[in-house]
Chains A and B, each alone.
Chain A
Amino acid sequence: MEPQRLELTRLYARFAFGPRPGEFSQSLKDGFTPSAKKILSQPQGVALDSLATPNFPDLGARPSQANAAASKAFTAALKAQSDELTLWWLDCMALTENPLLERMTWFWHGHWATSIDKVNFALPMFNQNQTLRANALGNFRTMAHAMFNDGALQIWLDGNDNVKGAPNENLSREFMELFTLGVNNYSEEDVKALARAFTGYQVVRSTGVVTFNSKRHDLDPIRLFGSSVPLNGDTATDLVVSRPENVTFISQRLWYRFISSSSQLDTKFGIEAAFANRDIASAVNALVFNGALSVPQHTVVRQPVEWFIAVCRAFSLQPSKLTPKTMVMNYLQKMAQVPFLPPNVGGWPTDEAWLSSASAQFRIAFAAALAKQIDFNPLASVPSEKRIVYIRDLLGVYEFSTRTFTALTNAKDDLQQFFVLAVCSPEFVVSA
């Protein structure tokens, strides 16, 4: 076994959506630190140059139900935009030269989990996605401000309906519980106070444009975390993010997704210290360089989207080019993970949740469908006795067990099956 193979396999699986052809073998030669530096030093927050940025025209308000034809066309337009948005993002993940940025955007989407199921319009969801990308490796305080002012999040958590006199607490509670501080790190009084501070913001549903209406805002002093002064969304966000619990909470959330959901965040890895100034890139650096990736117990299950994208990157597939057009969405839906459609505001589950027999069945069926659209010429040109090692390094797998080796050996002349077995093997489904 090459030294640092474990760290490298984890680096690619967890921080880069999986290697592209040749990358993992090259990294084995270069070593862990130079490879990790390369992945981590990509420019931050830049748009993707290889893909056209989609343009979502404002669809305006929903036409009256009395007008059946217009109503039907409107619903079809919503659906078309929503599908285009999802496939565009999957394309970004599969094709990007800067996989860490997309991976972090994906992490933050699960963190500030907002669903198009309620938002309906693609445009505000796209704008939120751009906000997450722009801040994905930036400063969490800046991100929290941008997200408070995000139209999709405001619609999702009823911020639009939060007015002086009878505040709506949906956004204020989840803002502290799930986005910034963690449960029990605030009081019920704080939830009510924050809801008052968040009053007066209004959203145009079809565009996500947020405006502040001072007539609907509570101008009185608000007692939040002990101080009592007039507050608005921005000043209150500052108070919340300044709480020391924010450092621990965000560090824990990063740890939970990138390192382990079963072992606890350990201060010896210095994640909290790196995040003290709310600098996300520093925290990610600590996750990668401070030894957490070397602990054998720190295994993680690839979520369905991560599994699919890793397959795309290894076999040069572009999600939106797969046929039929509905295939990708259908299989992701069966595997219970579609971007922009988290199950609830708490985001997607981890690890064992993705290991049911139902998931296994759909993973096999999805892989078999993908196999029909993959160019296997590169694999075919590898001598059959070397194919197992080839696909192992192509996928960035740590090592195949005896059982998988046996299954692959039996299939090494049936390239489609060989592929299905490799990407459905426990060693690929789980990041070692």
Chain B
Amino acid sequence: MDTISRRKFLQLTGAATVGAGAAMLSISEIAEAAITRPLPSGTPIVVVVTLYGGNDGLNTVVPYTDSLYYSMRPDISYKPETVLPLSDGLGLNPAMREMKSLWDQKKLAVIRGVGYPYPDHSHFSSMAIWQTGSPISHISSGWLGRWLDTQSADPMLAISLGSVPPPLFAGVKRSGSALPLGGLVVPSGKLGMRCQTLGKSSINDSPLMAAAATSMGNLFGLSDNVTGALKGPAPAAPDLPVINGGNAGGDSSLQQQLDLVAKLIVAGAPTKAWSVSLGGFDTHANEANAQSVLLGNVSYSVARFLNQLKGSGRASDVTVLIYSEFGRRVKANASQGTDHGTSGPVFVIGDRINGGMYGDQPSLSRLIDGDLAVTTDFRDIYSSILERDLKADPAQILNGWKGRVNSLYK
């Protein structure tokens, strides 16, 4: 990535859609929309889960029958009897029990060796490529942001959890909205009225000042009309598998984010794309424990999320995409960790997904400079999702890209 686009991306990683034209939503506002104009039932919904830091794919989908795996990673490999066997000599990380259950129900697609051409080992460049969906030419719009550009303007269409929206939702014309987890507390009374005055635009405003004014004004554009739709607890999940330790001590934020998404989907939010994330995958040292706690968190949170949709009539509308910016180096370093690598597995989950293995497993005997080969281009997955869930023309959004993951959807 050249300096300018990198700088643009650094801005995006922080900024993306905030500023003029991007909305910060409140739960009550989404709830109101869920009641007045619910998403028509049967409309597909995409939930993107971004794992920041570079998840180690080889210890996520483990090639436990390959002796090279054990000889190259003597200290941080998983023994055959501990992995959760899938097929083709591959098994899931022992912490991913709920994902194994989804596999058994044929709802989990494991797409192997996913990456982009000419792998870049930088977190920032690599995440920029994944989120823009443009590995060759450097652009600053996100792949779902460009899908938003093709839709009529609606701040509810794409929502990210947390106060900092991700670049993938930044379009050229419009952007996704952000839902801060803590919610918004708007000043009231005289101070509220006067702050509202500060939110007005002024002819002398520079673009940044206009954005500052808009951010203030948006605070007061929200509805006071709180509906009861979201006041109850999250739907019960009686069939949730019980695990020990997988989620203990880990970051529970992913679960919080997905709990909220589940409630809003069940309520009927007119939202077709959601974005949530979990950080901490940059495991240069002492990887095994840290990664399994994180993967346990992902597995538990996603299964819990899907369970919460059951009985809502929307369970079969949802597709979950889980990816990270790169996999890690095959050979471990001396600190029981791994350095930045290239390709990794991507998970796609849903009732309408044909569970199973896709793409070729990168060979451990034919490494490229110590890294795994890329066997599936990430845009194939985006194309399938854009076409099947979002009913969009992938070529228009992904610069003419023609590839698909064949038979991924039922």
Contact = CB atoms under 8 A, between A and B. Distances in A.
A210 interface: no
B205 A420 contact: no
A415 interface: no
Contacts of B123: 344, 346
A99 B211 CA distance: 28
A62 to B, nearest CB: 14
Contacts of A425: 198
Interface stretch (B10-18, B61-69, B82-90, B141-149): B10-18
Contacts of A358: 24, 163, 178, 180, 182, 184
Interface string B180-218: 101011110011001101101110111111111111101
Nearest to A404: B198
A194 to B, nearest CB: 12
A291 interface: no
A304 interface: no
Given A168-B339, A299-B208, A264 B11 contact: no
B195 A364 contact: yes
Given A168-B333, A169-B339, A355-B215, A407 B197 contact: yes
Nearest to B186: A361
A369 interface: no
Contacts of B120: 183
A165 interface: yes
Interface string A399-432: 1011110110011001001001100111101101
A351 B208 contact: yes
A261 interface: yes
A191 interface: yes
Interface stretch (A156-164, A320-328, A374-382): A156-164
A171 B396 CA distance: 40
Q: Which of B201, B215, B332 has the most CB of A within 10 A?
A: B215
A357 interface: yes
Q: Which of B14, B18, B125, B187 has the most CB of A within 10 A?
A: B14
Contact of B334 (A163, A348, A361): A163
B106 interface: no
Contacts of B215: 355-357, 359-360
B15 A424 contact: no
B195 A352 contact: no
Contacts of B3: 182-184, 252
B213 A349 contact: no
| Range, interface on chain B | 35 or more
Nearest to A252: B3
A348 B187 CA distance: 27
A182 B208 CA distance: 26
A177 interface: yes
Interface in B317-340: 329, 331-335, 337, 339-340
B164 interface: yes
Contacts of A276: none
B7 A368 contact: no
B331 A166 contact: yes
Interface string A320-340: 000000000000001010000
A301 B213 CA distance: 12
A349 B15 contact: yes
B316 to A, nearest CB: 34
A169 B202 contact: no
B284 A261 contact: no
A130 interface: no
Given A299-B208, A421-B194, A158 B284 contact: yes
Contacts of B125: 183-184
B198 A424 contact: yes
Interface in A277-318: 296-297, 299-301
Given A346-B13, A360-B216, A430-B209, A166 B178 contact: no
Given A407-B197, A430-B212, A356 B18 contact: yes
B121 A184 contact: no
Contacts of B214: 355
Given A166-B334, A299-B206, A427-B209, 13 more contacts: A162-B335, A166-B331, A168-B285, A170-B285, A182-B6, A261-B11, A262-B11, A334-B182, A346-B13, A403-B201, A407-B194, A407-B198, A426-B212
Interface of A: 157-158, 160-163, 165-170, 173, 177, 182-184, 188, 191, 195, 252, 256, 261-262, 264, 296-297, 299-301, 334, 336, 344, 346, 348-353, 355-361, 364-365, 368, 399, 401-404, 406-407, 410-411, 414, 417, 420-421, 424-427, 429-430, 432
Interface of B: 1-4, 6-7, 10-11, 13-15, 18-19, 23-24, 120-125, 163-164, 178, 180, 182, 184-187, 190-191, 194-195, 197-198, 200-202, 204-216, 218-219, 282, 284-285, 329, 331-335, 337, 339-340, 369
8 contacts: A165-B334, A168-B334, A177-B124, A346-B124, A350-B10, A350-B15, A421-B194, A426-B210
9 A-B pairs with the lowest CB-CB distances in the bound complex, closest first: A349-B14, A161-B335, A353-B14, A357-B24, A352-B15, A401-B202, A426-B212, A166-B334, A358-B163
